[in-house]
Amino acid sequence: MEVVFRRPAAAISRPKGLKPAASVLVTVSTSSPLSQSQLQLQLQPQQRRPFTFSSLTRPPPNYPGHVPLSFIEKAALAIGSGLMSLRDPRRGDLIAAFAEATATPYFIYRLRDAMLSHPTGRRILRDRPRITSTSLNLPHLRSLPPNTVGRTYVEWLDREHVSPDTRAPVRYIDDEECAYVMQRYRECHDFYHALVGLPTVREGEVALKAFEFCNTLLPMTGLSVFAAGTLKPRERKRFWEVYLPWAVRNGLRAKEIINVYWEEELERDVNDLRAELGIEMPPDMRELRRREREERRRRKAEEEEARRMAAMEAAKAAQGQRQ
């Protein structure tokens, strides 16, 4: 008798870069009076057949909230959301849609495989933790000793007036496992901010996106660097001269930051974690901006004083001519 088991692909190791199938057939032959019959035990539903898009049909979602899109729809979403987000970088919904539309077919699978090839990354994929204000217990993080990862993170949240509960759910990535990888990247973004100390101002976001692109290769992070063209001249000069070289150097040499299990690192010294990952702190952007503002105010005060003195000298000269 032949018994054919359909095993889930998640239970079978696969080479790096190979996308998982829905199931795998395993055949076992035994000697039995029922040798003419075949018993199939399906432990997993059969893989869906490819579904053809049309104006009236759409395949069912692969996970809650999933919106299946055709290639043309994804291309239109990528172009539209990309152009509009460059015009208004504060539109987080557009940036999220652009990230999902451009992550397939290669880049999100590369990031997923980077997690599968790392023991901590595999645990994250197995546990699938979510980062929210409840799961992290922010009041507890505020009670941690200074310079711990958790205290550094929550102080950054408080300083920037940011909440971890504002990350949009993934909708446009078809593979359910890859959708979680994108969700994990999205929810870890504030940890990256806190780790390197960059603020949420446009200049800081562009610098962090350059770092993320060199580390994750997600297209959205790379294309976001073009938003440097919208910076003020002095900010753009500082980005090209200071923060872009820092981002490229650290993003390329650092370990894959997607594999950090942040929930397990909260009580660790933040400097030790930076050293382990191979990340150096950039110049304090807020301090540079503060010094720049003070320098502008000083120059403005000197110019006003010079104009006042010139006006007084002119008045004295005019009075002397009249006398």
DSSP letters for 34-75 = TTT-EEEEESSPPPPPP----SS--PPPSSTT-----HHHHH
Residues 6+ apart with CB under 8 A from 145: 151
- Starting at the edge strand found earlier in the chain, the sheet holding 23-29 runs 23-29, 2-8, 38-42
Three-state SS at 103:
helix
Q: Position 187: which residue type?
A: E
Cβ(243)–Cβ(288) below 8 Å: no
161 annotated as a binding-site residue: no
Cα–Cα distance measured from residue 16 to residue 116, given in angstroms and rounded to the nearest whole number: 8
Cα–Cα distance measured from residue 67 to residue 170, given in angstroms and rounded to the nearest whole number: 9
Cβ(10)–Cβ(45) below 8 Å: no
294 annotated as a binding-site residue: no
Cα–Cα distance measured from residue 62 to residue 60, given in angstroms and rounded to the nearest whole number: 7
190 annotated as a binding-site residue: yes
118 annotated as a binding-site residue: no
Both tokens of 227, joined, read 């938003």
> Interior CA angle at 94 toward 88 and 97, to 5°?
155
As annotated, the binding site includes: 189-190, 193, 205
As annotated, the binding site for Zn(2+) includes: 189-190, 193, 205
